[in-house]
């Protein structure tokens, strides 16, 4: 090993010389170590070459997306909010129910902790996987939920902190899946799952739930979608976009089934504190074997901290190590002041519980007020939300919707009625739309009245 930890080139590496391989002059020699990656090296030329004079007629290179991103679709939720912002900039009054972010401010005790951290010089790199006290706090909350053997309870070494749970999901998929693998995605699903799985070169497989069961999938749905290539599943409860939540028994059975199949379970529990009827079950309470389980969580939603970008995984040790190694070559550690803010959120429990309780109470009041409007005759059918802060409405009955009624309806709402909502196609269900009620209650109710009246008008239009 060299001083910086890189392997020193030894005889195990073949240097293909031009005379051996008949490469053309100018080709780059390749270093190929057995079982290692190819590295192209360029030998320094003996005579320094003169730079060619600038060519004033040279056209800028045309961008063609690399195969890595050729299939990538931009986030539909972000696209809606970009269009809403553009209309606002033109002076239009828009009620934006597109974005999935609490309208509450980050609690003051969390901001104060971040300010203290910055003032005391916590502004440098940290360990890639995150500061130890934060990982300990995450592990101890996770261990409190764990019902398996004490020796297997999560510890700090199983935790990796990243720049938001979106990065955590990316790291996990990139480390666990690859070409030829299939990953089951109960659908409708949060818009980024499909893209993240595809970026890891695996095949996303949508497992459509039944709207009559709030789109929650069953073991027989999963069984019907499984093939020998299935390598993992993305679970999300409470769900974005439906707000539906698996009950304890259903989630326990699904986890047991996936474990028996030998699949990786990525359990995205980012909304688990935002639950209205009973507390939302979490995977660590429901299994005694976490050797295939990656729990994904973060502070964005429960602590109104979307902009601080802190998420984490609780994973089997080897997976946590691989995710850390990957992150060490991409973003390194999550923002240092944000890690201290998250530490306050997770350790100053009385203050944290007080703000979570107040926020969830407000979401529940809004949810109930929307349900009251939706119970009117002629309102669109919807999924009863028991968690998160979304309504998922079925607009497939509108008469001019074609095979993507959700997009037609969302476009009409934005352009003609000044309400931004997200078409269901972003979540794999074209006949639906999602709205977030993480906005001022008066705005949510006004938007809902407009949605219901537009829906009534659109189903009444003759074909």
Closer residue to ligand PLP, CB minimum distance, 304 or 458: 304
Which of 209, 311, 401, 431 binds ligand PLP (CB under 6 A)? It is 311
Closer residue to ligand PLP, CB minimum distance, 315 or 452: 315
Q: Contact, 394 vs 215, CB < 8 A? A: no
Burial 34-69 (b: 16+ CB within 10 A, else e): eeeeeeeeeeeeeeeeeeeeeeeeeeeeeeeeeeee
Burial of 227 (C-beta count, 10 Å sphere; 0-12/13-18/19+): exposed
Residue 96 binds ligand PLP, judged by CB under 6 A: no
Q: 33: left (phi > 0), else alpha (psi -120 to 50), else beta? A: beta
Q: Minimum distance from CB of 417 to ligand PLP (Å)?
A: 24
Q: Minimum distance from CB of 307 to ligand PLP (Å)?
A: 9
Residue 268 binds ligand PLP, judged by CB under 6 A: yes
Residue nearest to ligand PLP (CB): 164
The window from 56-64, 298-306, 324-332, 367-375 that contacts ligand PLP (CB under 6 A) reads: 298-306
Q: Minimum distance from CB of 108 to ligand PLP (Å)?
A: 21
Lateral strand order in the sheet of 390-394: 390-394, 432-436, 422-423
Residue 100 binds ligand PLP, judged by CB under 6 A: yes
Beta-carbon contacts of 426 under 8 Å, excluding residues fewer than 6 positions away, are 75, 76, 77, 191, 241, 434
- Residues binding ligand PLP: number (CB under 6 A): 13
Residue 232 binds ligand PLP, judged by CB under 6 A: no
Q: Minimum distance from CB of 43 to ligand PLP (Å)?
A: 44
Closer residue to ligand PLP, CB minimum distance, 197 or 408: 197
Q: Distance (Å, rounded) from C-alpha 13 to C-alpha 199?
A: 31
Structure tokens at 212: 């009559």
Which of 236, 237, 245, 386 binds ligand PLP (CB under 6 A)? It is 236
Rg of the chain, C-alpha, whole Å: 25
- Give the side-chain half-sphere CA count within 13 A for 66: 2
Residue 428 binds ligand PLP, judged by CB under 6 A: no
Which of the 8 DSSP states describes residue 426? G
Kindly identify the residues of this chain, within the stretch 144-203, that bind ligand PLP according to CB under 6 A: 164-166, 190
Which of 188, 232, 298, 387 binds ligand PLP (CB under 6 A)? It is 298
Q: Minimum distance from CB of 227 to ligand PLP (Å)?
A: 25
Q: Minimum distance from CB of 358 to ligand PLP (Å)?
A: 21
13 beta partners: 33
Site of interaction with ligand PLP (CB under 6 A): 100, 164-166, 190, 236, 240, 268, 270, 298, 300, 306, 311
């Amino acid at each position: 090993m060299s001083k910086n930890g890189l392997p020193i080139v030894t005889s195990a590496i073949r240097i293909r010389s031009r005379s051996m391989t008949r490469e053309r002059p100018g080709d780059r020699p390749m270093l190929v170590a057995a079982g290692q990656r190819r590295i192209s090296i360029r030998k320094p030329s003996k005579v320094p070459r003169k730079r060619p004079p600038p060519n004033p007629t040279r056209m800028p290179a045309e961008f063609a997306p690399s195969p890595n991103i050729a299939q990538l679709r931009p986030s539909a939720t972000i696209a809606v909010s970009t269009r809403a912002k553009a209309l606002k900039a033109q002076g239009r009054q828009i009620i934006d129910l597109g974005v999935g972010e609490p309208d509450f401010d980050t609690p003051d005790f969390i901001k104060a902790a971040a300010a203290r951290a910055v003032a005391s010089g916590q502004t440098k790199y940290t360990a890639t996987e995150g500061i130890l006290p934060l990982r300990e706090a995450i592990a101890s909350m996770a261990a409190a939920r764990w019902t398996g053997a004490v020796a297997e309870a999560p510890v700090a070494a199983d935790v990796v902190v990243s720049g938001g749970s979106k990065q955590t999901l990316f790291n996990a998929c990139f480390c666990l899946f690859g070409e030829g693998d299939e990953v089951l995605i109960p659908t409708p699903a949060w818009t980024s799952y499909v893209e993240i799985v595809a970026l890891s070169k695996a095949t996303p497989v949508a497992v459509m739930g039944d709207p009559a069961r709030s789109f929650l999938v069953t073991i027989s749905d999963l069984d019907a979608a499984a093939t020998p290539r299935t390598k993992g599943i993305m679970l999300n409860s409470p769900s974005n976009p439906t707000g539906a939540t698996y009950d304890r028994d259903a989630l326990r059975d699904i986890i047991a089934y996936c474990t028996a199949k030998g699949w990786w379970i990525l359990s995205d529990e980012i909304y688990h504190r935002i639950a209205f009827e009973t507390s939302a079950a979490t995977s660590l309470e429901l299994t005694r074997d976490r050797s295939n389980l990656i729990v994904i969580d973060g502070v964005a939603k429960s602590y109104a901290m979307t902009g601080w970008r802190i998420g984490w995984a609780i994973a089997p040790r080897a997976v946590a190590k691989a995710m850390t190694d990957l992150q060490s070559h991409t973003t390194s550690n999550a923002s240092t002041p944000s890690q201290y803010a998250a530490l306050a959120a997770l350790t100053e429990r009385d203050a944290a519980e007080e703000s979570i309780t107040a926020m969830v109470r407000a979401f529940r009041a809004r949810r109930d007020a929307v349900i009251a409007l939706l119970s009117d005759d002629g309102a669109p059918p919807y999924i009863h939300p028991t968690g998160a802060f979304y309504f998922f409405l079925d607009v497939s009955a509108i008469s001019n919707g074609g095979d993507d009624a959700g997009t037609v309806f969302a476009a009409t709402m934005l352009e003609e009625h000044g309400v931004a909502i997200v078409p269901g196609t972003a979540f794999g269900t074209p006949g639906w739309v999602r709205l977030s009620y993480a906005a001022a209650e008066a705005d949510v109710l006004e938007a809902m009245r407009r949605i219901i009246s537009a829906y009534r008008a659109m189903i009444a239009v003759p074909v």
